[in-house]
């Protein structure tokens, strides 16, 4: 009996050992083929309503009695500099920082975030300060460390660094979410240059890019480094479903008072939105899958005598990002093989049948190699201008966030290439400055003279500039119709922002007849204000370097007529299309009725705005809106 009791005692001791053994004997970092172990540490709001839950961390590394952990999800958002003065934000006069630790976010993490996560729990004493704080953000170098399970490639799509936000972070903290993969960007603790306003971002595709300091909806995916000698594992198997749980076994010293005051999280300010650059889709071989062909030959819209038909299409980047021009499935490679007429070949009948086709040219025509310091510099061989000719593109907007990718000289090359090819152009970039351009476009179609204005990332200060150019086109050029092109909005977002609606109204109040928008790479709803159409975004049309975004696009056609000396809109018709990415690049018309109506649905906003009119219900079936004497018909 005594022997049995001794055996039982030993068995009980063996069972209890894992509960009291030092944590480092149980933990490991990332191992190829095995992946990560997981731990539960601290609590934070998780559900949409702010309900708190334990935070899940993946264990990146265990070495020398210390463990490096990273939150599995993005748990909150924050600015890098807590600036709320609208004038400071607008003028970008906020203070510069020489390194990440000078940003407001660093002491905030070491005070407010530590308090929120651990709520005076003694386990906080096991936190080792790194990158300036006890709860910290990894640097870009750490996010490139293969030992931690990350890719060493900073560009392209890197799933190893992709992350999602918690329901609380998305709904309550307004975290940006990309619709193509439901992932979000988050901060890395690396500054680009103290003269710039740039801090490292891990993009929603997992690539590394740069973001402005004051962006408010950039995610926080946090890290801690633990002193394992002060911890023991109190439960769990180290899996996602049953993560390790820690018990503090070190000396429970009182928490030291912090020298940095706890900062309140500022309310999100209406500042620059994180813009994710498109990601090149590269395949090993240039295998071009045939595009779905229309079941019937396209039937271009008919127009009555005296009417003119204008077609607008979205972003056209008839080239590639600089680093991809020679890859197998690049735009250049496909055009070299298939010819200049390839990109627009499936929709050319529509574009030839109109009086004028207008596109957003989002590429630089140049042979230069010197480019700006950014991830994607979009370039096309100058002979690619022939693609526009073959596609029946007569006019292009030249001003957008890529027009200066090859600097002033590259932009000038583009202008000269377009002029030599006889392609109409317009756009204002750095107007009034020494190296600025301020080109207004004027086209005569029948007895109607049309003026074009282009601005990129329009600011409040640009409203007067736009108004003065509208007046110039009316008074000096005697234009009957004025189109204002705006490169704006949040990339990949399917709806415009409230400020854009207000901005569009002011531009129309200044005398514009139409607003034609682009930049988000996806189509967005159509509005009418005072009978004038507002196209917030017309999506990608043919794009050499593009994200995996919603491929829905279209040809937006407007029929105008001059009556008693005034121009009036008679008809709007959307030809629903779908664009294609790497290896093909051709947009094609959708013929399936369900697919067509799905595009029409994306163009109608459920929300209503004061004095703005949505398309009628009939548009959801036909994609057509008719007008009589300037009034929209049901």
Which tokens in the block code for residue 162?
């992709």
Give the span between the Cα atoms of 476 and 260, in whole angstroms.
61
558, 533 contact by CB (below 8 A): yes
Q: Which of 8-22, 51-65, 228-242, 566-580 has the lowest mean pLDDT?
A: 8-22
Mean pLDDT of all residues in the chain? 86
Q: In CATH, which superfamily holds the domain spanning 307-632?
A: Metallo-dependent phosphatases (3.60.21.10)
617, 320 contact by CB (below 8 A): no
**Local confidence band at 283 (pLDDT 50, 70, 90 cut-offs):** very low
- The per-residue pLDDT for 582 is 82
459: Cβ–Cβ under 8 A, 6 or more apart, which residues?
Answer: 90
Residue ranges with strand state E in 219-293: 219-220, 223-227, 231-235, 244-248
265, 56 contact by CB (below 8 A): no
H and E: helices and strands count for the chain: 13, 33
Question: The tokens 């109608």 sit on which residue?
Answer: 604
Q: What is the DSSP string of 106-132?
A: HHHIIIIIHHHHHTT-GGGGGEE-BTT
**Local confidence band at 359 (pLDDT 50, 70, 90 cut-offs):** very high
- The per-residue pLDDT for 93 is 79
Provide the CB-side half-sphere exposure for 608 (13 A, CA).
Answer: 6
Look at the pTM and tell me if it is higher than 0.85. Answer: no
pLDDT tens sequence across 421-480: 999 999 998 887 777 888 999 999 999 999 999 999 999 989 999 999 999 999 999 999
CA distances to 354, 421, 533 from 573, in Å:
12, 29, 12
**Local confidence band at 49 (pLDDT 50, 70, 90 cut-offs):** confident
> Looking at the predicted structure, is the pLDDT value of residue 3 above 70?
no
Average pLDDT of 587-601?
95
147, 162 contact by CB (below 8 A): no
- The per-residue pLDDT for 612 is 94
DSSP state of 35: B
- The per-residue pLDDT for 61 is 96
- Burial of 507: CB neighbours in 10 Å, binned 0-12, 13-18, 19+: buried
520, 496 contact by CB (below 8 A): no
Give the span between the Cα atoms of 580 and 587, in whole angstroms.
6
Which tokens in the block code for residue 97?
């920082």
> Looking at the predicted structure, is the pLDDT value of residue 567 above 70?
yes
Average pLDDT of 115-122?
88
Which tokens in the block code for residue 63?
């070495």
- The per-residue pLDDT for 23 is 61
**Local confidence band at 570 (pLDDT 50, 70, 90 cut-offs):** very high
Distance of CA 360 to the CA centre of its chain: 18
Beta bridge partners of 58: 38, 70
Give the span between the Cα atoms of 440 and 426, in whole angstroms.
5
Distance of CA 66 to the CA centre of its chain: 37
510: Cβ–Cβ under 8 A, 6 or more apart, which residues?
Answer: 463, 466, 467, 470
pLDDT tens sequence across 143-162: 999 999 999 998 888 999 99
> Looking at the predicted structure, is the pLDDT value of residue 611 above 70?
yes
- The per-residue pLDDT for 280 is 36
Which tokens in the block code for residue 290?
């045939």
**Local confidence band at 388 (pLDDT 50, 70, 90 cut-offs):** very high
- The per-residue pLDDT for 301 is 58
Three-state SS for 348?
Answer: helix
- Crossing angle for the helix pair 462-475 and 498-509, nearest 10 degrees? 30
Between β-strands 52-63 and 66-71, what pairing exists: parallel, antiparallel or unpaired? Answer: antiparallel
- The per-residue pLDDT for 528 is 96
Taking Cα atoms as reference points, which of 496, 544, 591, 502 lies closest to residue 321?
A: 544
Residue 144 phi, psi dihedral angles, 5° rounding: -105, 10
25, 226 contact by CB (below 8 A): no
445, 355 contact by CB (below 8 A): yes
For the chain, percent of residues with pLDDT exceeding 70: 87
Break the chain into its structural domains and give their ranges. Answer: 42-231, 307-632
- The per-residue pLDDT for 399 is 95
625, 617 contact by CB (below 8 A): no
Give the span between the Cα atoms of 625 and 574, in whole angstroms.
9
């Amino acid at each position: 009996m005594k022997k049995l009791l001794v055996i039982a005692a030993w068995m009980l001791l063996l069972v209890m050992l894992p509960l009291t053994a030092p944590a480092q004997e149980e933990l490991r970092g990332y191992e190829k083929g095995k992946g990560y172990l997981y731990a539960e540490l601290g609590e934070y709001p998780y559900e949409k309503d702010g309900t708190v839950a334990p935070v899940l961390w993946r264990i990146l590394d265990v070495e020398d009695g210390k463990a490096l952990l990273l939150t599995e999800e993005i748990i909150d958002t924050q600015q890098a500099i807590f600036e709320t003065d609208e004038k400071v934000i607008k003028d970008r006069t906020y203070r510069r920082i020489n390194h990440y630790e000078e940003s407001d976010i660093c002491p905030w993490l070491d005070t407010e975030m530590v308090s929120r996560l651990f709520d005076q729990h003694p386990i906080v004493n096991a936190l080792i300060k790194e990158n300036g704080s006890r709860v910290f953000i990894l640097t870009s170098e750490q996010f490139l460390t293969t030992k931690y399970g990350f890719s060493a490639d900073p560009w392209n799509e890197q799933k190893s660094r992709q992350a999602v936000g918690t329901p609380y972070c998305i709904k309550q903290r307004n975290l940006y979410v990309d619709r193509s993969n439901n992932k979000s960007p988050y901060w890395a603790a690396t500054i680009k240059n103290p003269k710039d306003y740039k801090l490292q971002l891990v993009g929603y595709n997992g690539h590394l890019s740069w973001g402005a300091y004051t962006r408010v909806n950039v995610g926080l995916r946090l890290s801690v480094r633990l002193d394992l000698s002060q911890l023991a594992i109190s439960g769990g198997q180290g899996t996602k479903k049953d993560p390790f749980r820690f018990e503090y076994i070190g000396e429970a010293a009182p928490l030291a008072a912090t020298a940095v005051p706890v900062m309140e999280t500022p309310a999100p300010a209406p500042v620059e939105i994180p813009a994710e650059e498109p990601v090149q889709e590269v395949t090993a071989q240039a295998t071009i899958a045939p595009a779905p062909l229309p079941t019937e030959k396209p039937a271009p819209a008919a127009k009555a005598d005296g009417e003119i038909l204008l077609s607008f299409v979205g972003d056209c980047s008839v080239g590639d990002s600089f680093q991809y021009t020679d890859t197998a499935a690049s735009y250049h490679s496909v055009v070299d093989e298939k010819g200049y007429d390839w990109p627009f070949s499936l929709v050319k009948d529509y574009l030839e049948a109109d009086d004028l086709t207008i596109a957003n040219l989002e590429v630089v025509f140049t042979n230069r190699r010197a480019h700006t310091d950014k991830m994607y510099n979009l370039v096309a061989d100058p002979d690619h201008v022939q693609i526009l000719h073959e596609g029946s593109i007569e006019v292009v907007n030249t001003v957008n966030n890529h027009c200066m990718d090859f600097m002033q000289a590259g932009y000038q090359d583009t202008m000269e290439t377009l002029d030599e090819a006889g392609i109409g152009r317009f756009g204002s970039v750095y107007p009034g400055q020494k190296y600025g351009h301020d080109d207004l476009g004027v086209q005569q179609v029948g007895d109607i003279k049309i003026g074009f204005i282009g601005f990129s990332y329009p600011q409040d200060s640009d409203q007067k500039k736009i108004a003065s150019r509208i007046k110039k086109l009316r008074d000096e050029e005697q234009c009957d119709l004025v189109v204002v092109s705006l490169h704006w909005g949040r990339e990949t977002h399917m709806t415009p922002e409230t400020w854009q609606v207000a901005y569009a109204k002011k531009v129309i109040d200044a005398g514009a007849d139409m607003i034609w928008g682009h930049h988000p790479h996806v189509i967005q709803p159509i509005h009418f204000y005072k009978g004038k159409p507002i196209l917030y975004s017309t999506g990608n049309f043919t794009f050499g370097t593009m994200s995996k975004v919603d491929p829905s696009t279209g040809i937006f056609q407007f029929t105008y007529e001059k009556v008693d000396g005034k121009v009036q809109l008679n008809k709007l018709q959307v030809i629903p299309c779908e664009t294609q990415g790497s290896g093909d690049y051709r947009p094609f018309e959708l013929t399936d009725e369900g697919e067509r109506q799905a595009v029409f649905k994306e163009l109608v906003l459920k929300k209503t705005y004061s004095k703005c009119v949505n398309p009628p219900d009939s548009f959801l079936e036909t994609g057509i809106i008719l007008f009589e004497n300037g009034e929209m018909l049901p």
